[in-house]
A and B are shown apart, each in its own frame.
Chain A
Amino acid sequence: MSEQAIQMLNEVEALRERTRKSLRWGWAPFAVFGVANLLSAPFTQIGDGLALGIFWLFAGPIGCLVTMTLVRRLELRSGVFDRHERFYAVVIGGMVIAATVVGFSARGLASDVGPVFPIGVGLVVIAAFDRSRFMGAAGTAVIALGVALAVAAPANADTWAAIGEGLIFIAASRALWRQGSSAGIQAPQVGHS
């Protein structure tokens, strides 16, 4: 009886793990916003930040729409939909709003580098919830980038922040993509019992 119970519990955990792995679409927002960050870099060189603000005014919603479309297609293709969509939307929305508020309300270096921190913290929160080490590493790297830029205070810190964040996102997207592609874990043979 005990052995059968242990086997059933192991099967339940294996199936839950397999389903969680099938939900790996995390690479998509990283890819979209990684590219958006890199594309934003030239706008940091124009004027007093207004051009960058206008860029994100368009790139933000378009990026969200593209990400949602991509995620929906991936879910339809895999046949399994994420039940934590609302949580991710709330955290990502919070990240974007906090970054925008910091970017517009702060001045000087704080305005250039400050928006990086809410993004990094948000990623760490999602990583903890999702038990994703790559996402955790990306969040930590974004926070480390912010600290490094705040300490070094280089000229054009906002350009470095955009490029750095873009490259971190692209690397995270690639790592998550590879992880998703190689996630084919064996299902328990429930059907042959």
Chain B
Amino acid sequence: MTHPALHLDDTVHQRVRLGILAVLEEAKRADFGYVRDALDLSDGNLSRHVQVLEEAGLVKVEKGFEGRRPRTWLQATKRGRAALADEVKALRELISRVDGNG
């Protein structure tokens, strides 16, 4: 049996990126500003993390307009939702393993 820490994905196992996926997991899509405020981030900081997730195929970014106002929508992909579920499972296994040894 491998150690649960080996199941942690480097892309997802980062607090901000895990937070982004957690927000998007509950929504069909969320506005960039909503995610920024929910995670208490700056625009630039969120953009960097979203880019990492997008390049990994975990998040989809759509730009559009609502009237004249530009809006950026973020959406977790199927792979993104699965990656979050795997990360949560790995974290739980890690906790139960540490608690079991303690």
By a beta-carbon cutoff of 8 Å, the part of chain A in contact with chain B is 1-2, 5-6, 8-9, 11-13, 15-16, 18-20, 22-23, 76, 78-83, 85, 187-193
Contacts and interface: CB of A to CB of B under 8 A. Distances in A.
A5 B91 contact: yes
25 contacts: A1-B94, A2-B94, A2-B95, A2-B102, A5-B91, A5-B95, A8-B91, A11-B19, A15-B39, A16-B22, A16-B23, A18-B38, A19-B22, A20-B26, A79-B31, A79-B34, A80-B27, A81-B30, A85-B28, A189-B40, A190-B16, A190-B19, A191-B39, A191-B42, A193-B16
Contact of A9 (B25, B88, B99): B88
B40 A191 contact: yes
Contacts of A188: 19
A19 B27 contact: yes
A19 B26 contact: yes
A115 to B, nearest CB: 31
Contact of B98 (A2, A19, A78, A79): A2
Main secondary structure of the interface of A (DSSP, over half): helix
A83 B22 CA distance: 13
A116 B66 CA distance: 39
